[in-house]
A and B are shown apart, each in its own frame.
Chain A
Amino acid sequence: MWAFLHRLASPRHFYHLTGRWIPWLGAATALCLATGLYLGLWVAPPDYQQGDSFRIMYVHVPAAWLSLFVYVFMAAAGAVGLIWNMKMADCLAVSAAPVGASFTFLALATGAIWGKPMWGTWWVWDARLTSELILLFLYLGYIALQNAIEDPRTAARAGAILAIVGSVNIPIIHYSVEWWNTLHQGPTVTRFDKPAIHPSMLWPLLLMALAFQLYFFTVLLMRARSELLWRERRSRWVRELLTQDDIQPSAEREEATP
Chain B
Amino acid sequence: MVLRTALAILAKDLRIEARTREGLASALVLGVLLVLVFSVAHDAPADRAPSLAPAVLWVTFVFTGLLGVQRSFVLEREHDALAGLLVAPVDAAALFFGKLAGNMLLLGVMQAIVLPLVAVLLHVELWAALPALLVVLLLGNLGFAALATLFAAITVRARAREVMLPVLLLPLLVPVLIGGVKATQAILVAGLAAAREPLGVIAAFDVIVTVAGVLLFEQVVRE
Are both chains from one complex?
A: no
Which residues in A have some Cβ–Cβ distance to B below 8 Å?
Answer: none
Residues of B within 8 A of A (CB): none
